[in-house]
Amino acid sequence: MGAHALEKAHGGRGVLLGGVAGVPPGKVAVLGGGIVGYNAALIAVGMQADVWVLDRSIDRMRELDPMLDGRATVAMSNTLQVEEAISEADLVIGAVLVHGARAPKLVTREMLGLMKPGSVLVDVAIDQGGCFETSRPTTHLEPTYEVDGIVHYCVANMPGAVPMTSTRALTNATLPYVEAIADRGLAGAVRSDRALARGVNVMAGRVTYEPVARDLGHPYIPLSEIVDGAPV
Amino acid sequence: MGAHALEKAHGGRGVLLGGVAGVPPGKVAVLGGGIVGYNAALIAVGMQADVWVLDRSIDRMRELDPMLDGRATVAMSNTLQVEEAISEADLVIGAVLVHGARAPKLVTREMLGLMKPGSVLVDVAIDQGGCFETSRPTTHLEPTYEVDGIVHYCVANMPGAVPMTSTRALTNATLPYVEAIADRGLAGAVRSDRALARGVNVMAGRVTYEPVARDLGHPYIPLSEIVDGAPV
Amino acid sequence: MGAHALEKAHGGRGVLLGGVAGVPPGKVAVLGGGIVGYNAALIAVGMQADVWVLDRSIDRMRELDPMLDGRATVAMSNTLQVEEAISEADLVIGAVLVHGARAPKLVTREMLGLMKPGSVLVDVAIDQGGCFETSRPTTHLEPTYEVDGIVHYCVANMPGAVPMTSTRALTNATLPYVEAIADRGLAGAVRSDRALARGVNVMAGRVTYEPVARDLGHPYIPLSEIVDGAPV
Amino acid sequence: MGAHALEKAHGGRGVLLGGVAGVPPGKVAVLGGGIVGYNAALIAVGMQADVWVLDRSIDRMRELDPMLDGRATVAMSNTLQVEEAISEADLVIGAVLVHGARAPKLVTREMLGLMKPGSVLVDVAIDQGGCFETSRPTTHLEPTYEVDGIVHYCVANMPGAVPMTSTRALTNATLPYVEAIADRGLAGAVRSDRALARGVNVMAGRVTYEPVARDLGHPYIPLSEIVDGAPV
Amino acid sequence: MGAHALEKAHGGRGVLLGGVAGVPPGKVAVLGGGIVGYNAALIAVGMQADVWVLDRSIDRMRELDPMLDGRATVAMSNTLQVEEAISEADLVIGAVLVHGARAPKLVTREMLGLMKPGSVLVDVAIDQGGCFETSRPTTHLEPTYEVDGIVHYCVANMPGAVPMTSTRALTNATLPYVEAIADRGLAGAVRSDRALARGVNVMAGRVTYEPVARDLGHPYIPLSEIVDGAPV
Amino acid sequence: MGAHALEKAHGGRGVLLGGVAGVPPGKVAVLGGGIVGYNAALIAVGMQADVWVLDRSIDRMRELDPMLDGRATVAMSNTLQVEEAISEADLVIGAVLVHGARAPKLVTREMLGLMKPGSVLVDVAIDQGGCFETSRPTTHLEPTYEVDGIVHYCVANMPGAVPMTSTRALTNATLPYVEAIADRGLAGAVRSDRALARGVNVMAGRVTYEPVARDLGHPYIPLSEIVDGAPV
């Protein structure tokens, strides 16, 4: 999506990520090296771009280097590094997701001034509130808008663009839980499967996951108070 | 571009080329393994797609295998193989270019019936007339249309989408000739540089390149009859 | 072994796994992505085959992708996917091993009908009972037999084919335990080394590993009832 | 084939080419780095063996290094190097083919004494007389024999083992010539296609290719004396 | 550093690690496959050397293989293997570090006799006492000395050679702890951060880390006896 | 050598080419993408540096991309690009060699002002006069000097540092010619081997290679005027 938004006709800088013979490739900065960030970096590297991945964990960086075959520069995420990375990048991918909580704002509106006109921000964390200050949800039909000359791509529910693939992935991940619920009923499934229990956000009308309760201003009720025998 | 056209919102099958963990990737068939086809395949492989490249030359196939690190299937291009490849593909890239002549039609309208609904054809040869029977030039603003349920992307002057990159590439390639013309004048440059002479299509109002003359129905005048001392 | 069984003279389809320039490679389906399945896939990829690996764990799939450099298609294992994979494969490798228990039957006799005549099944799980319904142990001297036109390679004790390598591997893995037993005696070694204790299947004539006891119909006696002070 | 011949049950050393975790892989020496040697080395590298390729051309070595991703040791072929390579190797692949002439004998009977008992020689040049002194043609049904403790695999017409793949490859390569002969007759095709003309070994009962004539003791008649207008 | 010490002018064998077209590369043996050993092997492989990595853990070997893209030979570390590896190597890198304890002596003085004259030992464990019997600390200005014809490079504080890089790395790793101490005071930081608490070697003049206390002959006082509420 | 000169103790910037987890790698600019430049880039990439290769030929750039596995940025060499590359680089490798003629000066003294203090220039073309204006030959014992804060490494006869490797390489390349001269005498060898004849620079006291004659101000005498029957 980011590569596409970089085209001139879509408001971008008119840069081809992979470059061509004799012309250097575009630069991509991926903020966050979790599963989402790793995959974004993998595709960007595969498109022959010059890729930076920023992360806060040294252990994760040690893993990422061989996973990306040494083809991306993996560096510590801190304000200085983020500023350096976005000021050189043609494409910035915000991939900092915190489980079940709002994403931190890594790029403020002021920092947009460091970026090159026509460069592109893609906010993969938009469904958790976004990791750029200037992000607001868009749709697949009108996916981008511009702030201070920077193109923002912040489509809510990005996987919806490729339903064939997303549906199969979702099915793969959820089918075992669906089978458990079908076999043992909702309360029974929750009782016998700790992973399922930990995934319950709302049950019987109450918010049973603390970070969500806190962020949305609802009271938090532990699942074990609703379902007798659920794991604590 | 092809990956983008595959999105549901743009009429495509809704397939993510690279797949996700547990869901197989999309399939890409690249027709033609020259410079354009090789680069298309390289990017598709980099996006983690399942890629076929068809070409007519065994020597070229031997070169392509290590150039693509053995990550694409390189096969002989003939009618049978083209039919098999397009019937399995989510994305077909037509990259058969013949120097200075019309591209051959590799996929007929009838053959569209073999393809999966919502799959995408990208015709890189559109500036030479296209290599699909159903291709007609489109623009960056309205890039696609549908025939028999198959999405066609046939933007004329594709490099225009990324002018920053294209202009640098064009400058790299042409600057030596521009310098030669500036130094020695047009006729002088043509006389002393065989490569430049071979690139002249029209001079003094006459078509000096035979295939173009033939295809467009103009008389062909050898360059050496116009510029005294030009290479034959 | 599987590549060899595919030769015409040995009853196989006569397909070269790696293909040759212009001829697509053979297809290999590996059922199970554990250590055995990963290594089988690695070798098959290295032989330039077109490889699928099926596994049930999304986390394992995420690990396998970079370990195989993105060169195999890693997909969720379920009945539908198994049927699709074996119907396209020239070679199927059954590598589903469950620690100390019988392997599940992934391919029934009926499913053989989906496969191409002369394709090959290799059952690496044969020492745990095999993961194909039609598997029965064979020997290195008469390694294959045919059922419904499908070649079966089910040699019991496959590592026995390469004793030079197997012996060194076994020695590497077992020497630390041998040293512990030599230093501290059998009971002493079991007491002080939890890993060794967990590996004990039979001691003092009793079956001390529950799955084996259950599968073979013997009473199960915990090791800690036999060796005083052994880890529970 | 070579990997298979290394199994104990087939007379070999019982070494697994790829090794296993903690046990070094087997060593493979490929004599000759042309198309055949390159492919043998590629597969051996893919099977995780420790591979040497010997060739006489520095330019070819420079090409081979990136083609094999730096994963094989490419060295100059001379007597000293051949002796060092075969004395360390578990598997030696003779892939020195000279167009239309007898292969040179790179390994003499005496040199077998340098090799490890149970190591394997595969002579891909057997159809040109073989490149080991002790080679003699065998069949797919009885493919190996032993000389001085060294297993020889010298099957004539090796591609016959995988007819499905070989036939497609042969068809790819020959179909254009078949079409030319069908269109223009034998003499006409020879006249208009220099490549076809150069491939003619025998015409109208005469040997028209000089090296073959010399090696077999027949008189050599140039093709142009038989077909009027054939390229010289 | 090791590559440089191999130059003739610095006392080494005069071998280029990567070799050149037609000349086999140098051999590097890395003893220990932890983070330091992995990185040494990665660089040596990248310099096109022929690399062995020895480690004692089968699980670690299984990880290392794909991390090094199968380009190094990973083998079990034991006396026999160490002797074989150092006798073939041009460069041996000792990278066996035990957290907070003296490094074991893997190569005795007597074993130097197995090595080729002019080969090089680099002792990365020198700050923990070194893993070669003949190691003694040197400086960046006079980095090497010779014992029995073998060049030793044993610079204490090796990262000091590249302060620009080392300082950034150290800052990355320590900044979070510095921030914690600045925010909460020393005792407070130790109380709330188990990782920090585990890293304390000396506090209030007492040795709070047992292996260091044992190796240096000081009494060991648990941190929790000094800081009230510190993790045990 | 360049990596070594970057160490603080040798006057360099104190940067580790490959970086470490979380710290970006050093930048290397290779000027010239011929055999020497390619190998320099390959090693620098292997050491995990961030590498640019500049060359003047688009065809060569197309070859270099897959040869370097897309891991270096390959760009057109012109003044603008050279200035950009050296101003970002920690290490610049001058590898522009013109067969038998003086190397062009790519980096002037004035351009040193663009570079970072303590960065390093390695002039591989020093034996042809050097491709930096400020280069002058040095020796293996005193290999570097500084100009305007930039470290210069300009050792004449660099291969002399690794005589073991260089001698074998030279022998590989020259032995066939030595054999020809031994078999047929000097004049005879020159007559029958066009490659050897083209390599003759001086014969019978005359300069027989035109660029050398021109650069050194000697008269040029064609070889064919000295040896009767030598190729023209």
Structure confidence by residue, pLDDT tens digits, F104-129 = 899 999 999 999 999 999 999 999 89
pLDDT tens digits, residue range C2-51? 888 888 888 888 899 988 888 899 999 999 999 999 999 999 999 999 99
Closest chain A C-alpha to F18 CA, distance in angstroms = 10
Would you call E75 and D48 a contact, using CB atoms and an 8 Å cutoff?
A: no
Q: What is the mean pLDDT of chain F?
A: 90
Q: Which amino acid is at D65?
A: D
Contacts by residues C46-49 (CB-CB < 8 Å, ≥ 24 positions apart): C46/D18, C46/D43, C46/D45, C46/D46, C46/D47, C46/D48, C47/C3, C47/C17, C47/C18, C47/D43, C47/D46, C47/D47, C48/B70, C48/C17, C48/C18, C48/C19, C48/D42, C48/D43, C48/D46, C49/C17, C49/C18, C49/C25, C49/C91
Examine chains B and A and say if they touch (3+ CB pairs below 8 A): yes
Cβ within 8 Å of E, F 92-131: none
Would you call C172 and E76 a contact, using CB atoms and an 8 Å cutoff?
A: yes
- Taking the C-alpha atoms of residue E193 and residue E178, their distance in angstroms, rounded to an integer, is 12
Res. B4 pLDDT band, cuts 50 70 90: confident
**Residue tagged 């490889």 (tokens):** C51
Closest chain E C-alpha to D15 CA, distance in angstroms = 15
Position F159 pLDDT exceeds 90? no
- Taking the C-alpha atoms of residue F91 and residue D17, their distance in angstroms, rounded to an integer, is 41
Residues of E in contact with A62 (CB under 8 A): 35
Position A232 pLDDT exceeds 80? no
Res. F204 pLDDT band, cuts 50 70 90: confident
Nearest CA in chain C to E75: C172
In the complex, which subunits touch D with 3 or more CB pairs below 8 angstroms? B, C, E, F
Please tell me if residue B35 touches chain F, with a CB cutoff of 8 Å: yes
Closest chain F C-alpha to E107 CA, distance in angstroms = 26
Closest chain D C-alpha to E76 CA, distance in angstroms = 5
Contact B33, F33 (CB under 8 A): no
Closest chain C C-alpha to B28 CA, distance in angstroms = 14
Closest chain B C-alpha to A188 CA, distance in angstroms = 28
Please tell me if residue E74 touches chain D, with a CB cutoff of 8 Å: yes
Tokens of C164: 């030079």
**Residue tagged 């002021």 (tokens):** A110
Closest chain D C-alpha to F189 CA, distance in angstroms = 19
Nearest CA in chain A to B169: A23
Examine chains C and E and say if they touch (3+ CB pairs below 8 A): yes
Position F36 pLDDT exceeds 80? yes
Closest partner CB to B172 (pick from F58, F69, F70): F58
Residue B8: the pLDDT is: 86
Q: Which of C54, C55, C65 to mutate: most A Cβ within 10 Å? A: C65
Tokens of B96: 């058969």
Closest CA to C192 of C148, C231, C225: C231
pLDDT tens digits, residue range A55-113? 998 899 999 999 998 899 999 998 889 999 999 999 999 999 877 678 889 999 999 99
pLDDT tens digits, residue range A102-160? 888 999 999 999 999 999 999 999 998 999 999 999 998 899 999 999 999 999 988 88
Closest partner CB to B21 (pick from C23, C24, C58): C58
Closest chain B C-alpha to F36 CA, distance in angstroms = 21
Would you call B172 and A23 a contact, using CB atoms and an 8 Å cutoff?
A: yes
Residue D199: the pLDDT is: 87
Examine chains A and E and say if they touch (3+ CB pairs below 8 A): yes
What is the DSSP code string of F93-161? Answer: EE----TTSPPP--B-TGGGGGSPTT-EEEEGGGGGT-SBTT---B-SSS-EEEETTEEEE-BTTGGGG
Q: Between A and F, how many CB-CB pairs are < 8 A?
A: 41
Please tell me if residue B71 touches chain A, with a CB cutoff of 8 Å: no
Would you call B140 and A9 a contact, using CB atoms and an 8 Å cutoff?
A: yes
Complex-level ipTM beyond the 0.90 threshold:
no
Closest partner CB to A67 (pick from C58, C66, C76): C66
Position F232 pLDDT exceeds 80? no
Residue A143: the pLDDT is: 92
Q: What is the mean pLDDT of chain B?
A: 91
Position B69 pLDDT exceeds 80? yes
Would you call F47 and E45 a contact, using CB atoms and an 8 Å cutoff?
A: no
Residue D78: the pLDDT is: 87
Q: Which of C8, C10, C20 to mutate: most D Cβ within 10 Å? A: C20
Would you call B172 and F76 a contact, using CB atoms and an 8 Å cutoff?
A: yes
pLDDT tens digits, residue range E113-172? 999 999 999 999 999 899 999 999 999 889 999 999 999 999 998 888 888 888 888 888
Average pLDDT over residues C177-198: 88
Closest chain C C-alpha to D93 CA, distance in angstroms = 16
Position E193 pLDDT exceeds 90? no
Would you call E21 and D62 a contact, using CB atoms and an 8 Å cutoff?
A: yes
Nearest CA in chain E to D23: E75
Please tell me if residue F88 touches chain A, with a CB cutoff of 8 Å: no
Examine chains A and D and say if they touch (3+ CB pairs below 8 A): no
In the complex, which subunits touch C with 3 or more CB pairs below 8 angstroms? A, B, D, E
Encode E81-118: b = buried (16+ Cβ within 10 Å), e = exposed: bbebbbeebbbbbbbbbeeeeebebbbeeebbeebeeb
Would you call C175 and E66 a contact, using CB atoms and an 8 Å cutoff?
A: no
Please tell me if residue F59 touches chain B, with a CB cutoff of 8 Å: no
Would you call E69 and C69 a contact, using CB atoms and an 8 Å cutoff?
A: yes
Residue B198: the pLDDT is: 87
Position C165 pLDDT exceeds 80? yes
Rounded percentage of chain B residues whose pLDDT exceeds 70: 100
Position A7 pLDDT exceeds 90? no
Nearest CA in chain C to E76: C172
Contact C213, C207 (CB under 8 A): yes
Would you call E23 and F162 a contact, using CB atoms and an 8 Å cutoff?
A: no
Would you call A78 and E175 a contact, using CB atoms and an 8 Å cutoff?
A: yes
Please tell me if residue E79 touches chain C, with a CB cutoff of 8 Å: no
The pTM assigned to this predicted structure is 0.86
Please tell me if residue F35 touches chain D, with a CB cutoff of 8 Å: yes
Please tell me if residue F141 touches chain A, with a CB cutoff of 8 Å: no
Res. B83 pLDDT band, cuts 50 70 90: very high
Rounded percentage of chain E residues whose pLDDT exceeds 90: 52
Position F216 pLDDT exceeds 80? yes
Average pLDDT over residues C130-140: 94
Count Cβ atoms within 10 A of the Cβ of residue F143 and give its class: 0-12 exposed, 13-18 middle, 19 or more buried.
buried
Closest partner CB to B66 (pick from D67, D173, D175): D67
Please tell me if residue F70 touches chain B, with a CB cutoff of 8 Å: yes
Closest chain A C-alpha to C181 CA, distance in angstroms = 36
Closest chain B C-alpha to C23 CA, distance in angstroms = 5
Closest partner CB to E73 (pick from D24, D52, D73): D24
Average pLDDT over residues B189-194: 88
Position E52 pLDDT exceeds 90? yes
Residues of C in contact with D6 (CB under 8 A): 162
- Taking the C-alpha atoms of residue C28 and residue C54, their distance in angstroms, rounded to an integer, is 11
Closest chain E C-alpha to D13 CA, distance in angstroms = 20
Tokens of A120: 């592109």
Q: Which of B144, B164, B167 to mutate: most A Cβ within 10 Å? A: B164
Res. C228 pLDDT band, cuts 50 70 90: confident
Residue B80: the pLDDT is: 86
Residues of C in contact with E69 (CB under 8 A): 69
Position A211 pLDDT exceeds 90? no
Average pLDDT over residues C67-86: 91
How would you write the pLDDT of chain D (232 residues) with one tens digit per residue? 888 888 888 888 889 998 888 889 999 999 999 999 999 999 999 999 999 999 988 899 999 999 998 899 999 998 889 999 999 999 999 999 877 678 889 999 999 999 999 999 999 999 989 999 999 999 988 999 999 999 999 999 888 888 888 888 888 888 878 888 998 998 899 998 888 898 899 988 899 998 889 988 899 999 989 988 888 7
Average pLDDT over residues E85-104: 89
